[in-house]
Amino acid sequence: MNLPPKVTDRAFARLAEINAATGPRPLRVAVEGGGCSGFQYDIRLDDAAADDLVLSGAGQSVVVDPVSLPFLAGAVIDFSEELIGARFVIENPNASSSCGCGTSFSI
């Protein structure tokens, strides 16, 4: 059985900060075809659908649709603050390669 993705405390904390300003909404993490490596992540605030996997922590929710779930098995959803900017990042053990932008990958 594939392990579901994990969300770090840091990612939940950042989502709580965003939701404090915008109102409570889950963070959707999806995988779509495209990008420079074949697949790309789509990370945005979105309402949960009935068939989504809901990952909860710190009063926040991250949702993953059933089509994206196999691509995110065992992945870690984190929040990174670097000099070039702050963003949600995905450490994905299923990705055989990724591009420099960090939002595109191949399997």
Beta sheet of 85-91, edge-to-edge order:
6-7, 76-82, 85-91
Domain regions of the chain by residue span: 6-106
Q: What's the pLDDT at 84?
A: 81
Check whether domain 6-106 has CATH 2.60.300.12, yes or no = yes
Rounded Cα distance, 28 and 1, in Å: 23
pTM: 0.85
Q: List, for residues 35-85, the tens digit of each pLDDT value.
A: 666 788 899 999 999 999 999 999 999 999 999 999 999 999 999 998 888
Task: Give 5: exposed, middle or buried? Use CB within 10 Å, 0-12, 13-18, 19+.
Answer: buried
Q: What is the DSSP letter of 3?
A: P
Q: What's the pLDDT at 37?
A: 65
